[in-house]
Amino acid sequence: TTLLCLISALALSSTVLGAKCGNQDCGKDTPCCVKGFCNRNAMYCAPFNCEAENSLSPQSCWNTAHCVDDVADFSHAESFAQIASYKGNPRAAKYVSKFEPSNARQANGQLELQLVKQADGKGFGAVVIGTRAIQYGTVTADIRSGSTSGGVVSSFIIRNDKAGDEIDFEWVGQDPATVQSNYYWRNQLDYTKMVRSPALTDTTKNYHRYQIQWTPEEIVWAVDNKPFRVVRRSETWDPAAKVFKFPDSESYVSFSIWDGGAGEKGTADWAGGKVNWGAMPFVMGVKQLSVSCHFKGNDTTHVPPPGA
């Protein structure tokens, strides 16, 4: 009986300590897990990164801040912060770099994301993500692509990394005259659903206004206030799986620039081959972003972490 009690106590203790984070347990001083590592800062505890199931407890991850109608003018300081300085209060920073080191910054009256060459010859880019989640709404951004060489990919995305839902705009260096649109459901990648925009003036030299209108019934992609694609939920029904394969999970708005030319052959071919590093710098520019939420008034559910 004593042995059984001891085993039960150990099992309970293990449960309290949380699940394994890689090959370690996250403790009270470093409670948040990301990809096998534990820490307590925003890169680990922010809800868009934090793995609740592998952390000390599900409550270790910071609260999700929900959508509010807003305009982020990236010439203003409160619109962006490096994730190393973010304390979890979305009122203090509307967008943050997603990881360190960061190749994102505010400069020239805008948000700039840069792709740089590493010692191994591959590119290291940047991801900037919103600090509030959105489930349906209209998102509009004034963007200049940084894809001035084949292989360089710039992106404007609404995505839930954990669920695998995504709605996107992507620019590839081999085609500066258009932007590509696509969507995914539960990480089921189907590149055949990609649709290009009509011809645009050079997207690497000119700012265009890109918009995603996302409702429970449809997604509309538009450039310069002109819709060019509509996907209706009713069209995504999979009779075999008996499910609508339509993005519907609460997600985050993000921007990124990355080295597609260093990927697998299919990705590299799509991106336009290897990056021509002689064409540097590769800088994506975002002047402003506006969000109009489909569901209103959710901000009251957010509680910043202590010290935010």
* 51 within 8 A of 18, measured Cβ to Cβ: no
Which residue spans within 22-74 are E strands per DSSP?
24-25, 32-34, 37-39, 70-73
Q: Is 53 labeled as catalytic in the residue annotation? A: no
Q: Which of 51, 78, 112, 170 is catalytic?
A: 170
Q: Whole-angstrom Cα distance, residue 112 to residue 282?
A: 10
Q: Is 112 labeled as catalytic in the residue annotation? A: no
* 251 within 8 A of 66, measured Cβ to Cβ: no
Give 36-44 contacts, CB < 8 A, sequence gap 24+.
Answer: 41/83, 41/84, 42/83, 42/84, 42/86, 42/87, 42/88, 42/96, 43/83, 43/84, 43/98, 43/99, 43/100
Q: Which of 166, 217, 218, 264 is catalytic?
A: 166
Q: Whole-angstrom Cα distance, residue 157 to residue 231?
A: 16
Collect all residues with Cβ–Cβ distance below 8 Å to 281 and sequence separation of at least 6: 114
Q: Whole-angstrom Cα distance, residue 65 to residue 87?
A: 13
> What positions carry a catalytic annotation?
166, 170
